[in-house]
Amino acid sequence: MTAGCESAAGYDVIVAGYGGAGAAAAIAAHDAGARVLVLEKAPVGGGSTAESGGSFATVLDRDGAIEHYLAITEGRTPREVPGLDVAWMCIMRSFGFVMVDASASRFLAEPTVEHHAAGHALLVRDFRTGEFTRLPSYLIFDDVTRRAGPIVTNEAGANRVLTWSESNLDEVGKGWIKRSDSVAGLARELSLPPNRLEDTVREYNRAAVDGGDEFGRSPAEMVPLREPPFYGIRIWPALFNTQGGPRRGAGGEVIGTDGMAVPGLFSAGELGSIWGSLYPGAGNVTEAVVFGRLAGRSAAA
């Protein structure tokens, strides 16, 4: 944001990064009487906060929420698609679909996957070979689901200014979605074993009618895949944001490996996030503002 490098001499607080957390820290430090310098490498501020959905999360039982997150955090993809600069998040408009791995086998009750946690379902190694057999995974659907609407969402981030056809046919033409008149033919398009994919779809269709899905998927959330053409698209976990980093004290102070606060060093936002390896929807924006203000006040004290 600055043309050239400015000397830090004469400043009480230096904020590195002008996202939501950095902005909150800078404002809090300034309001506390400090002379503040903000450093940002991008031409405009906002950081990942500017690309978020803009939601804030809060809780009715603060202590209960803290205990919950402490428990579940245990105290703690190809980079490019030709012709596309960002990743799309899949969202199916009909229950007529399955997700399969490299062996063309299903491995979960697909509608139960919450998108923030989807990576945990795919980042699983085969215990015998050590390979990630679910990277990529494949969404398989028929023409009924294709006609139900776009299989992606543009609700957040860079997707908000991009376009995806209502019919999904533009993306078929680009080769992002594969198409075939038969399940076996689709398997060949996706380099999956044809016989196994046929068996997988056949068993899914049976369970959609008779019940008894092996993964516990409710019949109310199962629609048989029967109307050709059939379609498939490769999917990978995508980077939502960064988590982890240095431990942080209650006032935003960075905690060193010796368990002591590092003098004059503070963090906020996703750097040293309190959520650990968990990605909580709407939690990061809240944390950016709260810990930004705490860190700014602490730095100015």
Structure-token match 């205990």, residue found: 67
Residue 222 sits in the same domain as residue 273: no
Give domain status of residue 149, yes or no.
yes
pLDDT at 162 over 80: no
CATH (domain of 268): 3.50.50.60
Q: Are 83 and 123 in contact (CB under 8 A)?
A: no
Average pLDDT over residues 150-158: 78
Highest mean pLDDT among 9-13, 16-20, 113-117, 176-180: 176-180
φ and ψ of 206, to 5 deg: -60, -45
Structure-token match 């046929």, residue found: 198
Residue 193 sits in the same domain as residue 120: yes
Domain end call among 201, 220, 235: 235
Its domain, for residue 285, covers 13-75+240-300
Per-residue model confidence as pLDDT tens digits over 39-49: 998 888 887 77
Q: Are 126 and 110 in contact (CB under 8 A)?
A: no
Residue 114 sits in the same domain as residue 229: yes
The C-alpha atoms of residue 144 and residue 128 are separated, in whole angstroms, by 38
pLDDT at 57 over 70: no
Tell me the C-alpha to C-alpha distance, in Å, between residue 199 and each of 79, 100, 249, 277.
32, 12, 54, 36
The tokens describing 193, both together, are 């074993």
Rg (CA), the chain: 24
Q: What is the pLDDT of residue 6?
A: 56
Tell me the C-alpha to C-alpha distance, in Å, between residue 110 and each of 31, 137, 142.
49, 12, 16
Q: What is the pLDDT of residue 77?
A: 46
Q: What is the pLDDT of residue 76?
A: 43
Q: Provide the pLDDT confidence category of residue 79 given band limits of 50, 70 and 90.
A: very low
Which amino acid is located at 101 in the chain?
Answer: D
Query: What is the value of pTM for the model shown?
Result: 0.69
Long-range contacts: 77-82, Cβ < 8 Å, 24+? 77/135, 77/136, 77/236, 77/237, 77/238, 77/239, 78/236, 81/176, 82/175
How many domains are there within the chain?
Answer: 2
